[in-house]
């Protein structure tokens, strides 16, 4: 941390813009499913998958963990996997 030297990060604004647009589209999909009143295992799976993909994009592209040490990439992606698994498990448990 001390003795800092700047490590350049690859700059790809086009990719960032595309990711952003994809995230907006995914949000609209989530919103649409909500408007439809979608419920049940399929809807839960679809919504969780969308949320996971969105989160993954934010983690890798926006947070820039794609180029981070594997430990930290693993911690944050692992967190995402854990959260999604726990939510899925709880919804499965709450099924009639």
Partner 1 sequence: MEANVTLPLQKPVARHLPGDLAIWFFIAAELLAFCVFFAAYAFTRAKHVELFNAEQLTLDRNAGALNTILLLTASYFVVRAVQAAEAGLKDKVAPWLAAGFLCGSGFVAVKVTEYADKLGAGITLSTSPFYMFYLSLTFFHFMHVLLGLVILAILWFHARRGNYGPDNATAMNNLHSGASYWHMVDLVWIILFPLVYVLR
Footprint of partner 1 on this chain (CB under 8 A)?
A: 1-9, 11, 13, 16-17, 19-20, 23-24, 27-28, 30-31, 33-35, 38-39, 43-44, 47-48, 50-51, 54-55, 58-59, 61-65, 67-70, 72, 75-76, 79, 82-83, 86-87, 89-91, 93-94, 96
DSSP 37: T
Judge whether 76 and 63 are in contact, CB under 8 Å. yes
Minimum gap (Å) between residue 91 Cβ and partner 1 = 7
Question: How far is it, in rounded angstroms, from Cα 95 to Cα 73?
Answer: 33
Minimum gap (Å) between residue 79 Cβ and partner 1 = 5
Angle between helices 13-35 and 41-57 (to 10 degrees): 160
């Amino acid at each position: 941390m001390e003795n800092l030297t700047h490590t350049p990060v690859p700059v790809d604004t086009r990719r960032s813009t595309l990711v952003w647009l994809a995230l907006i589209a995914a949000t609209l999909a989530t919103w649409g499913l909500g408007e439809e009143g979608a419920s049940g295992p399929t809807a839960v799976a679809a919504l969780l998958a969308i949320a996971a993909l969105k989160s993954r994009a934010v983690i890798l592209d926006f947070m820039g963990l794609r180029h981070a040490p594997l430990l930290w990439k693993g911690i944050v992606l692992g967190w995402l996997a854990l959260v999604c698994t726990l939510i899925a498990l709880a919804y499965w448990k709450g099924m009639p």
